[in-house]
């Protein structure tokens, strides 16, 4: 009774057999496409898990929020400039010369960008702790063989970043009534009762730290050129490849402070830079954090 054809109600052996599904049949096509559908369904899950790994990695949350925040600034600027295009599309699609009523209030993108900016500033309240640990390490003196210029630059940069973080914390705590107004009255009095002056000097310290990064990179390039000059004519293929890799890394690092510098100058100068807008700020900040965020994202695939 193992043969289905001999079972009661089954076709007799003389009946025409049902042909197997051809390669172009619906059943075969569904079978071939099933793995692709499964893979597509699993894609959001993989993205979310990788994003979780990125946010949990050291510096991952800060890097992601910074890049995302400045990207939103850029999108906000582009959205504000798209009003004439929206109006023209509305007139074309509706075949009318009437001017549509556009929402004059802040967009959802701008609101999200503002919220993320406040969140990042709040998270930086704890930024003094790693800066203190860095300063403790630097106070042990330069490492054996470390260039004195690089060491001095690192100490200066650390002190500037500590000043930036301390002043920003004071401004934030004052704005939120955590610090009594009497503690910062001397600073707020000169700026009409606001913390603008505190933030101004905070951003000036940050700009000094950004400049220190540029000084460090130029000094590293100078030392690297001297090292290559001493071994000129004796490099093999592997050494040249290492040099090319080092050059690429140097340029990728230089992009960061050079991108931050216009933003730092804008916030450090009373009245800002003429012509500076949210779009420029978003493009500079996004470019500055993109490389770091991309590296962290790539590491989540491992």
Q: What is the pLDDT of residue 227?
A: 87
| Per-residue tens of pLDDT for the chain, all 302 residues | 444 443 333 333 444 444 444 444 544 554 455 555 455 555 777 888 888 888 888 888 899 999 999 999 999 998 888 776 666 666 666 666 666 665 556 678 889 999 999 999 999 999 999 999 999 999 999 999 899 999 999 999 999 999 999 999 999 999 999 998 888 888 888 788 889 999 999 999 999 999 999 999 999 999 999 888 887 766 677 778 888 888 899 999 999 999 999 999 999 998 889 999 999 999 999 999 998 888 888 888 86
Q: Which one, of 72, 52, 54, 53, lies nearest residue 63 by Cα?
A: 54
Which tokens is 200 given? 């101004």
Sequential DSSP letters for 160-183: HHHHHHHHHHHHHHHHTTSS-GGG
Query: How far from chain centre, in Å, is Cα 106?
Result: 23
CA-based nearest residue to 68, from 299, 275, 297 = 297
Whose structure tokens read 């995302």? 68
| pLDDT value for 3 | 43
Whether the CB-CB separation of 297 and 54 falls below 8 Å is answered with yes
Between CA 174 and CA 164 the distance in angstroms is: 15
- 197 contact partners, CB below 8 Å, separation of at least 6: 187, 188, 190, 191
């Amino acid at each position: 009774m193992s043969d289905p054809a001999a079972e009661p109600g089954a076709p007799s052996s003389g009946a025409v057999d049902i042909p197997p599904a051809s390669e172009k049949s619906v059943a075969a096509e569904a079978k071939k496409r099933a793995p692709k559908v499964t893979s597509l369904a699993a894609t959001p899950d993989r993205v979310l898990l990788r994003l979780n790994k990125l946010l949990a990695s050291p510096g991952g949350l800060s890097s992601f929020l910074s890049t995302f925040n400045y990207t939103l600034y850029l999108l906000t600027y582009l959205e504000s400039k798209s009003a004439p295009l929206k109006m023209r599309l509305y007139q074309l699609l509706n075949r009318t010369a009437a001017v549509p009523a556009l929402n004059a209030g802040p967009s959802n993108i701008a609101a999200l960008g503002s919220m993320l900016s406040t969140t990042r500033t709040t998270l930086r309240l704890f930024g003094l702790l790693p800066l203190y640990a860095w300063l403790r390490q630097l106070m042990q003196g330069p490492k054996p063989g470390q260039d004195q210029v690089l060491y001095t630059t690192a100490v200066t940069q650390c002190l500037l970043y500590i000043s930036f973080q301390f002043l920003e914390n004071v401004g934030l705590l004052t704005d939120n009534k955590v610090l009594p107004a009497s503690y910062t009255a001397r600073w707020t009095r000169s700026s009409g009762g606001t913390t603008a002056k505190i933030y101004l000097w905070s951003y000036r310290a940050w700009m000094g730290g950004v400049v220190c990064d540029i000084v460090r990179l130029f000094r590293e390039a100078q030392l690297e050129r001297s090292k290559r000059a001493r071994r000129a004519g004796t490099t093999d293929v592997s050494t040249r490849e290492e040099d090319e890799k080092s050059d690429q890394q140097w340029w990728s690092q230089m992009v960061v402070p050079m991108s931050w510098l216009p933003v730092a100058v804008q916030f450090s100068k009373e009245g800002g830079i003429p012509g500076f807008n949210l779009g420029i700020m978003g493009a500079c900040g996004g470019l500055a954090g993109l490389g770091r965020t991309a590296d962290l994202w790539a590491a989540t695939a491992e």
